[in-house]
Amino acid sequence: MPSLTGSVALVTGASSGIGAASAVALAAEGARVVLVARREDRLRDVASAITAAGGSALIAPADVADPGQVSAAVRRAAEELGRLDIVVNNAGLMRMGPALQASLDDWNALLAVNIQGVLNVTHAALPHLVDAATDSPRGVADLVTVSSTAGWVARPGTAVYSMTKFGANAFSEGLRQEVLGKRVRVGVVGPGTVDTEIGDSLPPDARAALERNTAGMEKLRSEDVADAITYMVTRPRRVAINHMLVRAAEQTW
């Protein structure tokens, strides 16, 4: 029997990249998966792939920066599926460039998604995770946040992006200590350079700099990070993997 049979997992940013790959991986382990993102058409594609493979997926479109939308999505998941055992805070935004040339709107957008989005989802989901842990066949519930190597090493051009990831790490560690007695594990996965569309929205100069920094590097695939997340949440109750860095093999930072 798959290790997550009977569990319900909610994944944000599930319309593409790491989120979509994680939803597919968790469904393959037997979890009923709730897909959260803004792009409903893309969510339907992911849900179709999951159901075609024999899994179960519920679409709950929402913008993680909007607390009302997040609350409604979490409430729908809990009401329709009866529980919430795993949450993957994956939705994220990347903006890069020198601070002297930065747009304040870009900085605020980073905070809205990478910080406020994590808080919105966690606040809405945490009571359900605590409840699920009391009668889970696994004996535990899991909250995983996708951070970045930028949450451990700050570099020029990434000051605010790194601030959001350092902040997510700190929030997760403080929360971990609060809820470990309630059988809720809190973990962070910090990917390095991943071949996803997250950099597509960068301005040309920032995209060119990113391409120079990663030239010749075989980037991680979304499935590699999904493997790490799946490994984290499928450990026995006695094991808590709280931090995991997953870098491309040639990445130095």
CA distance 79 to 211: 44
Q: What is the pLDDT of residue 253?
A: 81
- Does residue 220 lie in a domain region? no
Token pair for 89? 């805070």
Residue 129 is assigned to a structural domain of this protein: yes
Answer whether residue 29 shows pLDDT above 90: yes
- Residue in 247, 117, 176, 168 with CA at minimum distance from that of residue 160: 168
Instruction: Please count the structural domains in the chain.
Output: 1
Instruction: Determine, yes or no, domain membership for 252.
Output: no
The range of the structural domain enclosing residue 37 comes to 8-213+225-246
Buried b (16+ CB within 10 A) or exposed e, 115-151: bbbbbbbbebbbebbebbbeebebebbbbbbbbbbbb
Q: Is 231 a catalytic residue?
A: no
CATH number of residue 123's parent domain: 3.40.50.720
What's the whole-number mean pLDDT along residues 176-185?
A: 97
Distance CA 70, CA 85 (A): 17
- Please state, as a whole number, how many other Cβ atoms lie within 10 Å of the Cβ of residue 111: 16
Q: How far apart are CA 15 and CA 11, in angstroms?
A: 10
pLDDT band at 115 (very low <50, low <70, confident <90, very high): very high
- pLDDT for 2 equals 74
CA–CA separation, 89 and 109 (whole Å): 17
Over residues 194-202, mean pLDDT: 68
| Mean pLDDT of the 96-123 span | 96
Cα separation, 207 vs 187, whole angstroms: 30
Q: Is the dihedral of CA 253, 106, 196, 92 positive or negative?
A: positive
On whether residue 219 sits in a domain, the answer given is: no
Asked if the structure places residue 251 within a domain, the reply is no
pLDDT digits (tens, 9 = 90+) for 57-105: 999 999 999 999 999 999 999 999 999 999 999 999 999 889 999 999 9
Catalytic residue among 161, 194, 230, 233: 161
Question: 2 in a domain, yes or no?
Answer: no
The answer to whether residue 218 is domain-embedded is no
Where residue 206 falls among pLDDT bands split at 50, 70, 90?
Answer: low
The winner for highest mean pLDDT among 38-52, 91-105, 202-216 is: 38-52
pLDDT value of position 216 = 76
- Tell me the average pLDDT of the chain: 94
| Domain annotation covers residue 1 | no
